[in-house]
Amino acid sequence: MKRAFLFPGQGSQIVGMGKDIYEKYEEARKIYEKASEISNIDIKKICFEGPEEELNKTENTQIAILTTSLAILEVLKSKNINADIAVGLSLGEYGALIYSGIMSFEDGIKLIQKRGYYMGNLLPKEEYAMAAIIGLEVNKIEEICKKLNEQGKFVVPANYNCSVQTAISGETNAIDEAIELLKQAGAKRAIKLKTSGPFHTVKLQEAKNAYEKELEKYESNFRIENCENIKVIKNLDGNYYTKNDNIKEILAKHIISPVRFDKAIKLMENEEIEEYVEIGPGKVLTGFIKKDNKEAKVYNINNLETLESYINNI
């Protein structure tokens, strides 16, 4: 069985995530405890109790989602359930890198804590928003964004999620204008997202620079050679990590570059992946997979019921 593990990104969080798995599985409890000890944050309190506004702060969201995904992953590993390929969306790439052994658990938690802090706090002063554009071809979205930019309004594609969905990011007023223009151009839907920063755009240059300095401290710890054991797909270009890659540069650039999950989907399809397993809150990534590959067998593991159903039916 050729299997891929998928790790979700920001926006999938929900108060209570991971609680029932934590209560039943010692493996999951250990992950929450280790992550809390490393970060000096009570991660399970944020995950299980919220409140929502606390969980939705970028500096908390990223570490909370990653910890929940890794807790579920640890239970799967204890049952000898493994994958050939790992991929994540934005912060989810850290789950994939930790799973592959390219990055250690401890380094991953420390880095995602810093990444979340910089992305949540080193922001330009203007108001920004993101929106998902559904049912409109990418070249039309890029064309309309380009026209608005030529008028001095900042809005760009930030997440190429799948062939029928692209997320745009930019100044709030520009996003509102883009939504109207994209609807007129034929978009089936345009939905504002639960994120407020201009993520995956050049507006996060300050955060990228600060994070790059942070990555330098861990650079010698990365084990890029492990990319040969479990293949990890980069958000940056939708290709696999290779032994020649500079992880520091890739992860820093990741903050200001669009996510190419659409290319990751094509790569996994070409690899003839038989089973896609999304590990963590929400069902976003398997939703993207199904849009582009209707025959794909997809599973979501985001609570005790879905975890045990998957384990028992494998």
Tens-digit pLDDT profile for residues 290-309: 999 999 999 999 999 999 99
90 an active-site residue? yes
Give the pLDDT confidence score for residue 197 in this predicted structure: 79
pTM of the predicted structure, to 2 decimals: 0.96
Q: What is the mean pLDDT of residues 136-142?
A: 97
Phi, psi of 114 (to 5 degrees): -70, -45
Among the listed residues 12, 36, 69, 90, the single catalytic one is 90
Tens-digit pLDDT profile for residues 276-286: 999 999 999 99
Q: What is the mean pLDDT of residues 246-271?
A: 97
Contacts of 257 (CB under 8 A, 6+ apart): 200, 235, 236
Tallying the residues shown for the chain, one arrives at 314
- Least Cα distance to 63 among 27, 109, 19, 6 occurs for 109
200 an active-site residue? yes
pLDDT at 196 over 70: no
Tens-digit pLDDT profile for residues 73-89: 999 999 999 999 999 99
Give the pLDDT confidence score for residue 243 in this predicted structure: 96
Please identify which residue in the block is written with the tokens 């990223």. Answer: 62
Q: What is the mean pLDDT of residues 121-132?
A: 92
Q: How far apart are CA 175 and CA 192, in angstroms?
A: 9
Query: Of 37-41, 83-87, 122-126, where does mean pLDDT reach its minimum?
Result: 122-126
* pLDDT > 90: percent of the chain: 96
Among the listed residues 36, 200, 254, 257, the single catalytic one is 200
The confidence band for 231, taking pLDDT boundaries of 50, 70 and 90, is: very high
- The domains found in the chain, sorted by start residue, are 3-122+203-313 (3.40.366.10), 128-197 (3.30.70.250)
Give the pLDDT confidence score for residue 314 in this predicted structure: 84
Give the pLDDT confidence score for residue 296 in this predicted structure: 96
